[in-house]
Structures are given as C-alpha cells and as structure tokens.
C-alpha cells in the first residue's frame, strides 16, 4: 500500500499527540489502517464534559463567568453560543488547511475566552481527572492548545499566546450521589508555529517509509504480524 495523498489527509490534535508519542503507531494508523488496540471508552468523562459545557453555557447567557474561574482567567466567555456549538463538533469544528499540501488539521473546542478590548482569543479546555495533578500533568496537553491556537489564527481570530486547562477532580461523595469537585485552572503558553511544525512533520512521516519502533512504546511492535515485507 502506498502512502495516501496528503491533500486527502485530515488530522486532529489527538492524532498529532499520537505522532509525538510514537511515530510508528501514527504511521501504521494513517498509512496501513492498523490501529492500536483500544479498550472500552469510559462514558463518564464524556458525560461530564457535556454537563460542564451546559454549566458554562448557563453563565454565558448571563454574561458572567462561573465563580470557580472568576478572577483566575483573562477575558469573558465568547458570547456567540451558536458559533461555539459549531466549533464544539468534530464535523464543523475549527479548521487549518496547510497551504502547500492541502492537508487539514481540525479540532473541536470545549470553550473559548475573548478579551473584547484587545480582540484576542484564548482556548479553554475542560479536563476531568480521577486523581490529583502532578507538576508535569499539563504538558501532555500543550500540543492540543497549540493546535487550537493555530486554527484560531487561521480563521482570523488572533490568539492571545496563551490558553487555559480547567481540571475537575473529584474529592468527596456525599449522600444522594452528590460529588464534590476541586476545580484547578492552569494557564498555558500556546505557540501556533510549534503546532504548524508538528503538523508538517507528521505529514512528512506519512509520505515516507515506516519508521522504526519507538523504544518506549508497548504497542507498535504488535502490528508487525499484519505488515507485509
């Protein structure tokens, strides 16, 4: 099987995370159609994500911020809920089209903050965690926010150069099924050009031969049984 034409390639922040984690697993998925083994996708994080969106939208309608992030972030919630809901969907999300190859980077935002006086935008992403944060926990999502920044810039929305991760971490369960969450907001620098380079490096890998197995990857060697010499 030959490498696909780059003009027909569509990648996302999550697939680029796979590229950064293990180039061979990424290549196998995009060129050979061989995916990593997947477990059952947990429904709780997805359900929490939808509930958090509805919660934030209730404050958006009022033109205010939820109290747990008020004073911790710059700007206000983007007021246009109709447009935001389009960008929240993988089908109609933000898009960056690579000018040389025509390949597409697309992603679905959780939320977006805007500073109206400066006309700058800050991606805001919700994360549900089952355990306390480690010092390096947020670095895993750096590429994701960089990608959002690149897509915002490509759509004429000037990136502020930073974004936010909002962690919801359960701390206690009370009678009646009430769960108490600790909410932690992390400000992260974003770099559109860093995302562009990762995207271009991933496209170059797709167009080339299969890379060697990553020394720390427990997955990619399993695919050798399915690959013809």
pLDDT of 44 reads 57
CA-CA distance, 221 to 229, in Å (whole number)?
A: 14
Query: pLDDT at residue 151 above 60?
Result: yes
Q: What is the rounded distance in angstroms from the CA atom of residue 227 to the CA atom of residue 229?
A: 6
Q: Which of 44-53, 69-78, 107-116, 118-127 has the lowest mean pLDDT?
A: 44-53
Put simply, whether the predicted model's pTM sits higher than 0.85 gets the answer: yes
- pLDDT digit string, tens, across residues 90-133: 899 999 999 989 999 999 999 999 999 999 999 999 988 766 65
Nearest alpha carbon to residue 11 among 123, 83, 95 = 95
Determine whether domain 6-226 maps to CATH 3.90.320. yes
Where are any strands of DSSP class E within 42-100? 76-77, 94-97
Work out the number of other CB atoms within 10 angstroms of the CB of residue 180.
10
Q: Looking at residue 53, what DSSP letter applies? A: H
Mean pLDDT over 67-85 rounds to 96
Number of alpha helices (DSSP H) and beta strands (DSSP E) in the chain: 6, 8
pLDDT of residue 37 exceeding 90, the answer is no
Q: Where are the domains of the chain?
A: 6-226
pLDDT computed for residue 2 by the predictor:
44
Give all strands (DSSP E) within 54-161, no chain letters.
Answer: 76-77, 94-97, 104-107, 111-115, 120-128
* pLDDT one-digit tens code per residue, 191-223: 999 999 999 999 999 999 999 887 778 887 655
């Amino acid at each position: 099987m030959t490498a696909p034409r780059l003009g027909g390639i569509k990648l996302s922040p999550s697939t680029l995370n796979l590229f950064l984690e293990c180039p061979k697993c990424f290549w196998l998925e995009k060129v050979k159609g061989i995916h990593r083994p997947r477990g059952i996708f947990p429904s709780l994080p997805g359900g929490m994500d939808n509930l958090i969106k509805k919660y934030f939208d209730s404050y958006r309608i009022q033109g205010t911020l939820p109290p747990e992030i008020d004073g911790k972030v710059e700007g206000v919630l983007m007021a246009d809920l109709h447009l935001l809901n389009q960008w929240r969907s993988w089908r109609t999300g933000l898009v960056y089209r690579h000018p040389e190859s025509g390949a597409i980077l697309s992603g679905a935002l959780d939320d977006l903050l805007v500073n109206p006086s400066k006309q700058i935008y800050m991606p805001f992403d919700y994360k549900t965690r089952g355990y306390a944060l480690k010092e390096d926990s947020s670095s895993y999502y750096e590429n994701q926010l960089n990608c959002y920044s690149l897509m915002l810039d490509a759509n004429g929305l000037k990136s502020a150069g930073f974004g936010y991760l909002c962690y919801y971490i359960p701390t206690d369960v009370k009678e009646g099924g009430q769960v108490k969450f600790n909410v932690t907001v992390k400000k992260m620098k974003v770099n559109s050009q860093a995302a562009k380079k990762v995207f271009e490096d991933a496209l170059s890998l797709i167009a080339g031969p299969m890379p060697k197995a990553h020394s720390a990857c427990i997955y990619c060697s399993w695919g050798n049984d399915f690959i013809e010499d």
